[in-house]
Structure 1
Amino acid sequence: MAYDFDLFVIGAGSGGVRAARFAASYGARVAVAESRYLGGTCVNVGCVPKKLLVYGAHYAEDIEQAQGFGWTVDNKTFDWRTLIANKNREIERLNGIYKNLLVDSGVTLLQAHARLVDAHTVEVAGTRYSAEHILVATGGWPHVPDFPGNEHVITSNEAFYLD
């Protein structure tokens, strides 16, 4: 049977991107569908933003200690909105790198929600694609269980975008 793709990957996190690029490097016809953001949890609401915020938090301590090394630091100020804007800009840059990695590898990138129809069919934005192999690499999504007070709980999906 003739398929549209040799491999169709649902999810463009690190695992899905790596699988797609590897398969394409061996000559496979590959498509990737991603409805949220390229790079997955780590890049967007996990490792990367956490590290940027932790790095930013350490500067107050570093500035304080710098005085012991002969530095005079006057007018110490901090602007949360600047930190968040710069974090967002870095994530957008990384999303662009993931996009380029896929496209430059010859992968067809579909930035929309995918739905598995059957063992060889995926539907994306109303269009059906056939594939010999389908890899579901959607990762996880945080879940807040139902308990008294859960309306006060946020996950990393919200925490990195607080005003």
Structure 2
Amino acid sequence: MASKSAVFFDRDGTLNVDVHFLHEIEKFRWVEGAVDAVRAVNARGALAIVITNQSGIARGYYTEEEMYRLHEWMNEELQKHGAHIDAFYYCPHLTDGAVEAYREDCDCRKPKPGMLLRAMKEHDIDPARAVMIGDAARDVECAERAGIRGTLYAGGSLLPVTLEALDSCGI
């Protein structure tokens, strides 16, 4: 039986200000309350996991290596504030992508639940003690398809939304 709790965060528009196809560290800006939200998840003993569509890879706008560097930098910045992301899951696919290697109809592009299901299995996460927070209807739909709660983040500080989501799952 799965035992861990988790908060899954969408990346662009939820943890960071949505910049079209963000991959450059110098363009990265945290959403208000994002660092505190991740720290709150960590403090409650839950996993903080990013679930993000990254079709810019399939479009040829940036590489997986550039995305990895950005994710590593995000964690370095969070660690300066006593917080961390436990894992990053991403979907680089797009059915009509410019880069043939990523041109496919996968099960991981949100709103499909593949990334969430894989993360829950790999990290032994109890669906009753998990929630997905995202800024788009596809994030909530993805959560529901994976059998967990979905919370729509509509702007403002991410911290109160995260605290409410944690409470709703008994975390």
TM over 0.5: no
Which is richer in helix?
1
Q: TM-score, normalised by structure 2?
A: 0.33
In our comparison, the structure showing a higher alpha carbon Rg is 1
After TM superposition, the score normalised by the length of structure 1 is 0.34
Higher relative contact order, structure no. (Cα contacts within 8 Å, ≥ 6 residues apart): 1
